[in-house]
A and B are shown apart, each in its own frame.
Chain A
Amino acid sequence: MHTAPVLDISSLRTVFRIGGRQVAAVQDLDLTIAPGETLALVGESGSGKSVTSLSIMGLLPRKVGQVTEGSILFRGKSGQVQDLTRLDDEGLRRIRGNDIAMVFQEPMTSLNPVYTIGEQIAEPMRIHLGCSHRKAAAAAIKLLEDVGIPDPERRAGQYPHELSGGMRQRATIAMALSCDPVLLIADEPTTALDVTIQAQILDLLQKLQDERGMGILFVTHNLGVVAEIADRVAVMYAGRIVETGTVADVFTHPRHPYTVGLMRSVPRLGEATELRRRGIPLPTIAGSVPSLVHLPTGCSFAPRCPLAIDACRAGVPPLYETGNGRKSRCIRWQEV
């Protein structure tokens, strides 16, 4: 892809102040997203993937979380490139919901219970596009239709509790797309849904992306979802990206022991029943995610890594180019 990226993050560092000390939730983070591209950000809980998305949106909890280093270059609808880390509150507010929109994990709680679906979808269009009430309400009904909600006129007048989980997530997607953003951040948008609904929502996101050409940052811990929707994947561990590459490359030949472990831990239907029949436990990664307060020196994954040697503990490994635009933060990537 030769088009200029819509999002270009370099050397991002986001810290949280916890009890007088600073803890880096995200560090040395570089990533780019081209228009029409889907980048999946993968990792376990606490790996920093949600903090990354909140850093982009400028929605880190005030007084506690803060971007201290790096830049987030964003090319908005107008084509103008701005560094989001240097914008003031008002500047960020104008971009949120307009140029960058976000879909959250819990469709049950991310919609306001006391306003109708139509009102909540219409709101960003009134704020950012200056639409009249009537025009925004009509556009909201059209959006509900676009995201595949039957009988959109009636649904627009209903409250969130009157809709099923899948319907609500469709409604939050409609809300996110209302101002035609160039970047959509989807933070575990299918995690809270049934598997069959998950597939529908993923199909919907892909269809909408094909129609509108927005870039998607898809935050998830589910590798199955990544395989289905993403073009490229970035694997995060303890606040750092440990491996990036196209989905096809990373999934067929992972170049970081953590990625290998993650992929082994995904139970496959046939294999899982076979293992169970033979009484062998499902494969997992030994040990647990390190606390960000007490990160091990050197490679954060070394304590859990089957390939770890003394050199791994000497210093944080850089991201090695491993060919075809791929990168791995492992000094023994050739042996993985």
Chain B
Amino acid sequence: MLTYITRRLATGLLMLVALSMLVFILLRLAPGDPISAYINPNVAMSQAEMDALRARLGLDQPLPIQYLAWLRAAASGDLGFSIQRNGVKVLPLVLERIGPTVLLMVAGLAIAIVVGIAAGIVTAVQRNSATDIGFSIAAFFGISSPAFLTAILGLYLFSVVLRWSPSGGMLTPGAPFSIGDLLAHLVLPACLLSIGHAALIMRYMRASLLEVLNQDYVRTARAKGVKEFWVIMKHAVRNALLPVVTLIGSTIGIAVGGAIFIESVFNWPGMGLLLINAVDTRDYPVIMGATLIIGACVIVVNLLTDIAYAAIDPRIQVA
């Protein structure tokens, strides 16, 4: 088990290096650089002054040298300084944003998992009923609506029209911190983030459970006189969860993308908002740092999913 985790973490590290290389190359292929976003367009600057600025930031060096310099520093835990924020260190900048993002994503995924699995069980057990058809139509819309659309529609409906929820931010400015205030701000964005995932999990859970309900061991459970409720919940659901756990693990990366949209619509002070601002201003070190940390989180969560998989299915040997 321990060797397995070590090996997975080692491959994860290699993946992070590959990821950083990819992001680094993509960034340099994109038009514009930090200087063009950095300079004040109202102040005249000569080409020589701009070249000097680039040289000071090392942007005039060949790409491999720039990358290796970044990698060497990153390996020692130094992710450099933000270009746009006048020398604020990237690592603390990113770390202070992780909390809100993790909070939003965990809340969104928890809602998606609970709602998706429950709805999947109900629709599978009552297949072809009105409930099943209703949920299936809702899931169809859930899967087909992109996060930026549901975020804006949700914000308009629940915050502007119905006034059930604050329209943005994580806490009421100036008010003393309270859990209730945090939850009031969290509920709407987390629910909106969960929509697509809940719909996807529901579809998988329904299909998986329908298949399991036809298995011989479910008939065996009924032949033993197990109550129908426990036939479903004990004998069928645990087997049906296996493909769903895989799905949940692989959608976490996608959830990061959704969280970035939600964060920018709801002004949620997380990594997504930081990343969008950094991309706008071509703040290379911040983009690199943020993607690296997000990548690391996704790799760790995928590892946790695989461990959970082994816990549910005794046939899987994690080794």
Cβ contacts under 8 Å, A57 to chain B: 223
Give residues 248-273 of B contacting A (CB, 8 Å): none
B159: interface (CB < 8 Å)? no
Given A113-B313, A113-B314, A114-B238, A59-B224 contact (CB < 8 Å): no
Check B219–A127 contact: CB distance below 8 A: no
Check B222–A59 contact: CB distance below 8 A: yes
Smallest beta-carbon distance A25→chain B, Å? 17
Pick from B217, B219, B224, B228: contact of A113, CB below 8 A: B217
Check B216–A110 contact: CB distance below 8 A: yes
B221: interface (CB < 8 Å)? yes
Q: Report the contact-size class of chain A (Cβ under 8 Å from the partner).
A: 20 to 34
Check A93–B312 contact: CB distance below 8 A: no
A-B contact count (CB 8 A): 71
Smallest beta-carbon distance A149→chain B, Å? 18
Chain A residue nearest in CB terms to B214: A61
A147: interface (CB < 8 Å)? no
B56: interface (CB < 8 Å)? no
Q: What's the Cα separation between A159 and B217 when bound, in Å?
A: 13
Check A123–B222 contact: CB distance below 8 A: no
Given A93-B225, A96-B225, A97-B225, A113-B239 contact (CB < 8 Å): yes
Check B239–A96 contact: CB distance below 8 A: no
Cβ contacts under 8 Å, B239 to chain A: 112-114
Cβ contacts under 8 Å, B216 to chain A: 104, 106, 109-110
Pick from A109, A116, A159, A175: contact of B224, CB below 8 A: A175
Check B314–A114 contact: CB distance below 8 A: yes
B285-315 CB mask vs A (1 if < 8 Å, else 0) is 0000000000000000000000000001111
Q: What's the Cα separation between A175 and B226 when bound, in Å?
A: 13
Given A96-B225, A112-B235, A104-B314 contact (CB < 8 Å): no
Q: What's the Cα separation between A172 and B315 when bound, in Å?
A: 19
A111: interface (CB < 8 Å)? yes
Given A110-B216, A113-B313, A159-B315, A93-B227 contact (CB < 8 Å): yes
Check A110–B220 contact: CB distance below 8 A: yes
Chain A residue nearest in CB terms to B225: A97
Cβ contacts under 8 Å, A161 to chain B: 314-315
Smallest beta-carbon distance A138→chain B, Å? 19
Check B225–A112 contact: CB distance below 8 A: no
Check A124–B224 contact: CB distance below 8 A: yes
Check B219–A59 contact: CB distance below 8 A: yes
A101: interface (CB < 8 Å)? yes
Q: What's the Cα separation between A116 and B220 when bound, in Å?
A: 15
A98: interface (CB < 8 Å)? yes
Give residues 121-165 of A contacting B (CB, 8 Å): 123-124, 127-128, 159, 161
A95: interface (CB < 8 Å)? yes
Given A112-B239, A113-B313, A128-B225 contact (CB < 8 Å): yes
Cβ contacts under 8 Å, A106 to chain B: 216
Smallest beta-carbon distance B306→chain A, Å? 17
Chain A residue nearest in CB terms to B224: A97
Given A93-B227, A95-B225, A127-B225, A159-B220 contact (CB < 8 Å): no
Smallest beta-carbon distance B84→chain A, Å? 53
Given A109-B215, A113-B314, A114-B314, A123-B224 contact (CB < 8 Å): yes
Cβ contacts under 8 Å, A86 to chain B: none
Give residues 193-241 of B contacting A (CB, 8 Å): 215-217, 219-228, 235, 238-239
Chain B residue nearest in CB terms to A57: B223
Cβ contacts under 8 Å, B217 to chain A: 109-113
Smallest beta-carbon distance A64→chain B, Å? 13
Cβ contacts under 8 Å, A59 to chain B: 219, 222-223
Chain B residue nearest in CB terms to A158: B314
Cβ contacts under 8 Å, A116 to chain B: 314
Check B223–A111 contact: CB distance below 8 A: no
Check A96–B223 contact: CB distance below 8 A: yes
A253: interface (CB < 8 Å)? no
Check A101–B223 contact: CB distance below 8 A: yes
A42: interface (CB < 8 Å)? no
Chain A residue nearest in CB terms to B231: A93
Q: What's the Cα separation between A128 and B220 when bound, in Å?
A: 15
Chain B residue nearest in CB terms to A96: B225
Cβ contacts under 8 Å, A172 to chain B: 220
Q: What's the Cα separation between A128 and B224 when bound, in Å?
A: 9
Smallest beta-carbon distance A98→chain B, Å? 6
Cβ contacts under 8 Å, B225 to chain A: 93-98, 124, 127-128
A235: interface (CB < 8 Å)? no
Check B221–A96 contact: CB distance below 8 A: no
Most buried by A among B222, B228, B312: B222
Q: What's the Cα separation between A89 and B228 when bound, in Å?
A: 10
Cβ contacts under 8 Å, A72 to chain B: none
A102: interface (CB < 8 Å)? yes
Cβ contacts under 8 Å, A98 to chain B: 225
Cβ contacts under 8 Å, B220 to chain A: 102, 104, 110-112, 172, 175
Check A104–B219 contact: CB distance below 8 A: yes
Give 27 pairs: A residue, B residue, CB < 8 Å, sorted on A: A57-B223, A59-B222, A59-B223, A94-B225, A95-B225, A96-B225, A97-B223, A97-B225, A101-B223, A101-B224, A104-B216, A104-B220, A106-B216, A110-B216, A110-B217, A110-B220, A111-B217, A113-B239, A113-B315, A114-B238, A114-B312, A114-B313, A116-B314, A124-B225, A127-B224, A128-B225, A159-B315
9 smallest CB-CB distances across A and B, nearest first, come from A97-B225, A97-B224, A96-B225, A109-B216, A112-B217, A110-B216, A159-B314, A102-B223, A110-B220
Given contacts A97-B223, A104-B220, A127-B226, 18 further A-B contacts (CB under 8 A): A57-B223, A59-B223, A95-B225, A97-B224, A97-B225, A98-B225, A101-B223, A101-B224, A102-B223, A104-B223, A109-B217, A110-B217, A111-B217, A112-B235, A112-B239, A114-B239, A124-B225, A161-B314
Residues of B bordering A, CB below 8 Å = 215-217, 219-228, 235, 238-239, 312-315
